[in-house]
Structure 1
Amino acid sequence: MNAAATSTDGHRHAEAWQERNVFGPDHGIPVLADVDVVVVGGGAAGVAAATVCAEQGLDVVLLEQYGFAGGAAVAGMSGTICGMYLAGDHAAPQQVVHGFTERFRRALHDRGGLTAPQRYGRTWASAHDPLMWREAADDLLTSAGVRVIYHASVTGVILDGDQHRGVVVTSKAGRAAIHARRTIDASGDAAVVARAGGAYRYGEGGRIQNPTMFFRLGGVDTAAFWRDFGDDTISPPHVSEAILRARADGADLPREKIWVFATTRPGELMVNATRLEAEDGRMLNVVDPEDFTIAEIRGRRQVRSYAAFLRDHVDGCTDAYVVDTGVEAGIRQTRSIEAVEMLRDDDVVACRKRPDGIVRSPWPIELHDGAKPTLHWLIDDWYDVPYLSLVPRAGENVIVAGRCLGAEHRALASARVTAQCFEYGHAAAWATLRSLRDRVAYRDIAGESVAADLRASGSTI
């Protein structure tokens, strides 16, 4: 297959790669582990889910395709903890999300791996050191007693009727089965649910948000830079106008609104500037490896263009150089499960509160879909994400955690960020404990009871 074969709506070509790979209980594959819980994916949601499950006495295996935890925060170098603070005209950040999110924030802070909150439009976000993110996750997981297996990808699921009984993993060592009484799909892409034949959607009618390529810029006179750029991480008008002029002269600078954050390292900035699409303007769906490849090649080229622009046009950047890009393109959206209850666009806009909510989200609808990003602010307010948005409509003994929750397109543009993903994992862990202890299906657990567990463990619900 070649890139030209990809369909214009961006998702049918990805489906050409789909293979369910469903195995029955008598699969005949060597069994690597037989545990209470298998957590698939080591991003924010997976780390939270695995750590909390293990701390509550469950036998847990966590699987991660890379050699480190972090997911989009590290491999994609998204670089910030977003979603903790209210939006509004506050002189200082107002934190409204705690729980495991606060626990991880504190672990980063204590290592010197987190900046103070930085102004982002009408809210705040803190930038982290990706190496310290990995180390903090390693320490939490191993201290809790999680069996961590890096460099392993899920290539199949084990089903007994509609009951999930574990997963099949592939690594350089070969193929093995992990039997588990419960599965937490924290892959970000609903990989387990999709392989089992569960229902999911791609955004709105197959249209999803653009990926991006973050990069770090070293050799910066940061004092001069911030004097020119201002105290907001979103680019000021004079920088955006300079980008438009450079684009008119032929520079590959598709976004004029760029976001630049201070990092924990002297003389360094983290930049979110690129917008990745195919050469003909087609949306890229990074579930498809060919689209993922296009995103990464074009992303690295755009990084060089933006770095050159900053050197030529922004104070403090004359001697700047690219330190690194993400290990992979930054993924905002792929599959969202069809959940027992979907988080809807109007839930977000109306800042709807609910007794079965498992996390608050004050983050704006930050939609990267089209010619430029758009922001819809939730001023001095938040909405609650319902527990059942983590539970697939079909299939038993499986729950999701992370950006693949059941959410409509614009709702996901708010609900997908880091602080909330930590809390989705936190909630999935407590639901798993209840499911095993009480021998009850995830769908039959009252969201109010999960919210009570979260409050007792430090979450603000």
Structure 2
Amino acid sequence: MQGWKLDARLSDEGDLPVIADVDVLVVGGGAAGVAAATVAAEAGKSVVLVEKYGFCGGAAVAGMSATICGLYLATDRRSQPEQVVYGFTDRFRSRLAARGGLTKPQVYGKTWTSAHDPLMWRETADELLQQAGVRIFFHTAVTGVLMDGAVHRGVVVESNAGRAVIRAARTIDASGDAAVVARAGHRYVFGDNGKIQNPTMFFRVGNVDMDRFLDFYGDDTICPPKVTDAIVAARARHYDLPRQKIWIFQTTRPHELMVNATRLSGRDGRMLNVIDPVDFTEAEIVGREQVRQYARFLAEHVPGCENSYVVDTGVEAGIRQTRSIVGVDTLRNSDVLAARKRGDGICRVPWPIELHDGDRPKLHWLLDDYYEVPYLALVPESGENIIVAGRCLSAEHEALASARVTAQCFEYGHAAAVAAVMSLDDGTPFRKIDGGAVRAVMAANGSAF
């Protein structure tokens, strides 16, 4: 049986066992991490993926965001979705759909999104990673970094088996929280001068009379004004419903809905930063309490939901934003508003600026257009042999509120893996790699530009 005891070599850091010595280490098994590990391994590199849970999926699965957002253009003119993001994103989407784990596109305001089955998401990730030859360490958390001056050499990890070392020539921080970057002392920021988007607690309800529900609610997953009005009225009757604009999606299962309704802040009204375990704990507890309140509201006020019940909540609160790295380049708010295209762009983004920091989300639509994210927004301004993938990229606050969604995170992982392979093959530092060259390889892999 393979296990940590098989490798008796010792590190230079406290005589810890070295459990792997690889070309590429990927920290975090969300959308970005799954893409990064798969693409790097398929390019012939030895790859380890470290994930704190017993499954992949990150915010999409543990946080139960449960949709693949960011695939389609927003528009006022078209009645059918127009997909503009492909590459690894579409590869994963296709495999998930083939399992029966993805709905058809559902209307979301001026665009579309598809809901997925969290269990099938995990299974799709397992299949891709294993077929590529990735070595996976579930139930394992990064607790430290191995540095040679400014050069990353690996990480210290911990599990129930104890503490150990993974050595790596290149590290991809796909933790979502810039966990490796922060532990190495590289610079990062929290949102807009410390103000970040609210977390949420997603939940699913079952035993819904779908015909009656859709006849009342309509096809748009963003709630109609009559539902918002009913929420506001219910507050006066002592319901705890802090968010009045909610979103409800059909799932792949009959008679089931996935609900994005809660808004999590401290009981004293403060912003919760879930990097802090005290705030994270409060978010979890408050979130589950709010779920019961919104479920009660649905049962009492929304036709078709009279006999519904809560199936489950996310394993953790849904996290929209924590740390953002200070990168060599930064995605600016103005880049988003101007729908800027660029030769070093590694991902199209048609998703609106979607800010969650009040009683209703704020949406700024990018109609019939998209912008592109610069490659160097994935590269920290300091440190060698490290790149990030996922929502911790270097981006201004409003820009991140658009760029952080699942379809794009898959492509950030794709880009980070391509860059890691180039860096290993040529000995080129990440910050010296031409973003246009990364883009060209991604295009050859099926990404659209």
* Coarse TM-score class (shorter-chain normalised): over 0.9
- 1:263–1:269 contact (8 Å) kept in structure 2: yes
Question: Which residue of the other structure, out of 167, 171, 181, is the alignment partner of 2:155?
Answer: 167
Render the CA deviation track for 1:236-293: whole Å, top value 9, x for unaligned.
0111100000012211001110000000000000000000001121100000011001
Matched, 1:107 2:95: yes
Match of residue 62 from structure 1 = 49
5+ long unaligned stretches in structure 1: 1-23
- Alpha-carbon contact 1:185-1:193 (below 8 Å) kept: yes
1:88 corresponding residue in structure 2: 75
Give 2:37's match in structure 1, choosing from 25, 50, 56. 50
Partners of 1:26 and 1:228 in 2: CA distance: 62
Query: SS of 1:176's equivalent?
Result: strand
Structure 1 residue 372 displacement after superposition: 2.3
Q: Which amino acid aligns with 1:60?
A: V
**Of the candidates 250, 253, 256, which is equivalent to residue 265 of structure 1?**
253
Give CA deviations for 1:8-67 in whole Å, capped at 9, x if unaligned.
xxxxxxxxxxxxxxxx95542111011001100000000000000000000000000000
Spell out, residue by residue over 1:75-132, the C-alpha distance to the aligned partner (whole angstroms, 9 max, x if none): 0000000000000022110000000000000011000000000000000000000000
Q: Is the 8 A contact 1:39 1:63 kept in 2?
A: yes
Aligned-partner residue type, residue 63 of structure 2: G
Out of 120, 144, 147, the residue aligned to residue 156 of structure 1 is 144
1:433 correspondence with 2:404? no
Query: Are the counterparts in 2 of residues 25 and 159 from structure 1 also a CA contact under 8 Å?
Result: no
Corresponding residue SS for 1:132: helix
The farther-off stretch of 197-206 and 248-257 is 248-257
| Cα deviation, residue 370, structure 1 | 2.8
- 1:119 matches 2:107: yes
Tell me which residue corresponds to 1:292.
Answer: 280
- The one of 390, 405, 412 equivalent to 1:417 is 405
The equivalent of 1:192 in structure 2 is 180
Partner of 2:59: 72
Query: What secondary structure is seen at the aligned counterpart in 1 of 2:320?
Result: coil
- Alignment match of 1:202 (pick from 168, 190, 194): 190
Contact 1:337/1:404 (CA < 8 Å) preserved in 2? yes
For the 8 Å contact 2:37–2:417, the answer to whether it is kept is yes
TM-superposition CA deviations, 1:131-168 (whole Å, max 9, x none): 00000000000000000110000000000000000000
Shifted more, 243-252 versus 319-328: the winner is 243-252
Contact kept? 1:351, 1:381, Cα under 8 Å: yes
Q: Counterparts of 1:171 and 1:133 in 2: how far apart (Å)? A: 24
Does the CA contact (< 8 Å) of 1:25 and 1:160 recur in 2?
Answer: no
Post-superposition Cα deviations, 1:141-197, rounded to whole Å, max 9, x if no partner, equal 000000011000000000000000000000000000000000000000000000000
Q: 2:262 matched to which residue of 1?
A: 274
Q: Displaced runs of 4+ in structure 1, greater than 2 A?
A: 24-28
Take 1:165 and 1:27, find their aligned partners in 2: how far apart are those partners? 15
Residue 444 (structure 2) pairs with residue 459 (structure 1): no
SS at match of 1:36: strand
TM-score, length-scaled by structure 1: 0.94
Give the TM-score of the pair, scaled to structure 2: 0.97
Aligned-partner SS, 1:67: coil
Q: Secondary structure at the match of 1:102?
A: helix
2:298 aligned counterpart, secondary structure:
helix
1:299-314 pair list within 5 angstroms: 299-314=287-302
Does the 8 Å contact 2:245/2:359 carry over to 1? no
Could you tell me which amino acid in structure 1 is paired with residue 58 of structure 2?
G
Note the alpha carbon deviations across 1:368-423, whole angstroms, 9 max, x for none.
12332100000000000000000000000000000000001000000000000000
* Aligned partners of 2:264 and 2:287 also within 8 Å: yes
> For the Cα contact (< 8 Å) 1:168–1:177, is it kept in 2?
yes
Of 354, 367, 384, 1:396 maps to: 384
The answer to whether the 8 Å contact 2:25/2:170 transfers is: yes
Distance verdict in 2 for CA 1:26–1:324, change over 3 Å = closer
Is structure 2 residue 17 aligned with structure 1 residue 30? yes
User: AA paired with 2:422?
Assistant: R
**Residue 375 (str. 1) matches residue 363 (str. 2):** yes
AA at the equivalent of 1:63: V
Q: Which segments of 5 or more consecutive residues in structure 2 lack a partner in the other structure?
A: 1-10
User: Quick one: distance in 2 between partners of 1:134 and 1:368?
Assistant: 27
2:234 to 232, 242, 246: 246
Give yes or no for contact 1:118–1:124 (8 Å, CA) kept in 2: yes
Supply the distance in 2 between the matched residues of 1:179 and 1:163 (Cα, whole angstroms).
Answer: 12
